Structure 1
Amino acid sequence: MTSRAFILALALPAFTGMFVVAQPIAAIAGNLRGVVELFTSQGCSSCPPADAELARLIESGEVLGLSYHVDYWNYLGWADTLSNAASTERQYGYAHSLKRKNVYTPQAVVNGRDHANGADGAAVDALLSKLSAAGEGLTVGVEASLDDNGLNISIDDGQGEASIVIVYFNEATTVDIKKGENAGHKITYKHSVREVQTVGMWDGDAISLKLPPSLLSAHPGVGCAILLQVVGKDGAPGRILGAAIIEASEYG
C-alpha cells in the first residue's frame, strides 16, 4: 500500500460471496469532456427538461453526469423518492465554493467550477467547452476498472492536492409521480446519486489504489463514479480535476 494514499475502505470487512459485474467501463480524463452534477427534484416543475438534458449528456458517452435529488421541495405535496439531505448539503457546499448566496433547481454544476441552468442544454454545453478551452476541464488522468478482487483506481501525476471520492448511483430509476407540481408524470432518472464516500487523498504524485470488493458489494445494483476533487477545509466540494466511471449491472 502506498503511503501517499489514506484508504478508508481497507478497514471494511472482506466480502466472501460471489462478485459478479457487467463489463466495466474505464475512463480517463482525455475521454471525458467534463463532469456535470445536476441538482434536481421530482417536486420541481422546471426540472424534467433538465433531467432529460442530463440523460442526453450521459448517453453521449462524453460527459460524466450525476443527478443529486435535493429534499427542500418535498413540502410541496410530493416527497422526492430519490432525495436525501446529503444531496442538499452538497449543493449548499457548492454555493459556498462558488460564492453564491442561494441555491436553485435545476442547477448544473460543471467540473465543480461553474454552474448553469440545467434545463438549458446549450448553456451547459457552452460551459463545458469554455472550461476545457481555459484548461479547467479534466486535467488529471484517472482510470478505474473492476475485477473479482475489487476496484482498481489509477491516478496520474499533476499539481495540487485533492480527495479521491466515490459516488454511487442508480443507473436508471423510473418514478410515477402521483402528487405535486409533476403529478401524473412518469420520469426516468439517470445516474441518481445514492451516496458519496471519500476513500483517499492525492498529493500530486501518481498513485494506484486497490479497494476491496466489500466496498461495492455494500451498494448492490449501482454504478460508481470516481472523482478527483479539491475539497475545502470546511468540507465544501470544489474543483474536479479528473474522473472515471464504472457502470455495473450487479454487485454481490
Structure 2
Amino acid sequence: MRVWKTIVAAVCIGLPVPAIAQSGPVVVELFTSQGCSSCPPADRLLHRLTEREDVLPLALHVDYWDYIGWADQFARPVHTQRQKGYAHAGGRKMIYTPQMVIMGQDDVVGADAMELAEVIAKHQQVAPLVRLDVKRAEGVLQLRVQPLATLPAEQLTVQLVRFDPVKTIEITRGELSGSRFDYANVVEDWQQVTSWNGQEELSVSVPFIGTQPAAVLVQRGAYGAILAAARVE
C-alpha cells in the first residue's frame, strides 16, 4: 500500500519514479482539445508529467471539437486519425477527450491520475524487448535498434516526433472562452523514419535540423504497442 501511495503521489506532483525494466521512458499520449471543457485537468496533469525523466508525455490536439465555437490552434487531422487508429486496434467504437494512451496499449480518462499511475507502474515492470540508442551529431540523428528477445516476424515502425515544450494560447470563444493555457509538449510533427522487421540490428541516419525537442519511438505497426522510446538529447 505504501508503494502504491508513493507512485500516486509521484504522478500527482511530478516527482520521478525510477523505471525498473522499461526500455526508455513510458510514452503517454494525451488526446485533447482547446474546445473541450473537461480537458484542462488532463492538460495540467500532462504538464506535471514533463517533470519526470521516466515518462515521455505528448499532447496530440484533435480537431473534431472545432465546430462548437473555437478552432484548436494546435490541432492536426493526423492526430484525430491516430486516435481513431488506436480505437480500432483496441476494439473500441468511440473516441473521446481527454484520453491518455500509454505505450500504445492502455487507455485511461485523461484526468484520472490514480489510474494513470497504476498503468505507468505496470509498464515500468515490463522486461524490454528492444534496445534503442539515439545519438545526435551535426544535423543528423544516428539511430540503432536491437532486439533483446525473439520477436515475431512483423513490421515495426521507427518514428520521429517533434514537439514544442510549452505553447501558450488565449481562448476567446467556445466552452473555454476567456481562459489562458500553457500547453505542454505539443506535438507538431510525427513521421515514420523507416520500418524494421525486428530480427536483426538496424542502424539508420536521419536528418535533424533545429533545436526543437524530439523523441524516437519503436512501435508495432502504426497503432500497436510501443516497444521502446528515447528522447533526443
Question: Does structure 1 retain, via aligned residues, the 8 Å contact 2:23–2:128?
Answer: no
**Structure 1, 177-186 or 88-97: larger mean CA deviation:** 177-186
Distance change in 2, residues 1:138/1:89 (3 Å):
farther
Matched, 1:192 2:186: yes
1:188-243 superposed Cα distances (whole Å, 9 cap, x missing partner)? 1111111211111222222222223xxx33xx552211110011xxxx41110001
Matched, 1:237 2:223: yes
**1:135-150 map, 5 Å:** 135=126, 139-150=129-140
Question: Does structure 2 retain, via aligned residues, the 8 Å contact 1:170–1:221?
Answer: no
Which residue of 2 is the match for residue 209 of structure 1? Answer: 204
Which residue of 2 is the match for residue 222 of structure 1? Answer: 212
Per the normalisation by structure 1, the TM-score is: 0.77
Q: Among residues 105, 109, 122, which one is paired with 1:117 in the alignment?
A: 109
Question: Does structure 2 retain, via aligned residues, the 8 Å contact 1:71–1:85?
Answer: yes
Question: Does structure 2 retain, via aligned residues, the 8 Å contact 1:138–1:243?
Answer: no
Question: Does structure 2 retain, via aligned residues, the 8 Å contact 1:33–1:128?
Answer: no
Q: How many residues align?
A: 208
Sequence identity percentage: 40
RMSD over equivalenced CA pairs, Å: 1.8
Using the TM superposition, give the Cα deviation of residue 123 of structure 1 relative to its aligned residue in structure 2, in angstroms.
1.0
Instruction: State the SS of the aligned residue for 2:88.
Output: helix
Matched, 1:173 2:163: no
How far apart, CA to CA, are the structure 2 residues paired with 1:114 and 1:78? 30
1:115-140 superposed Cα distances (whole Å, 9 cap, x missing partner)? 0011111111111122343x3x7542
1:14-43 superposed Cα distances (whole Å, 9 cap, x missing partner)? xxxxxxxxxxxxxxx756451100000011
Which residue of 2 is the match for residue 45 of structure 1? Answer: 37
Q: Which amino acid aligns with 1:211?
A: V
Query: Deviation above 6 Å: which 4+ runs of structure 1?
Result: none
Q: Which amino acid aligns with 1:82?
A: F
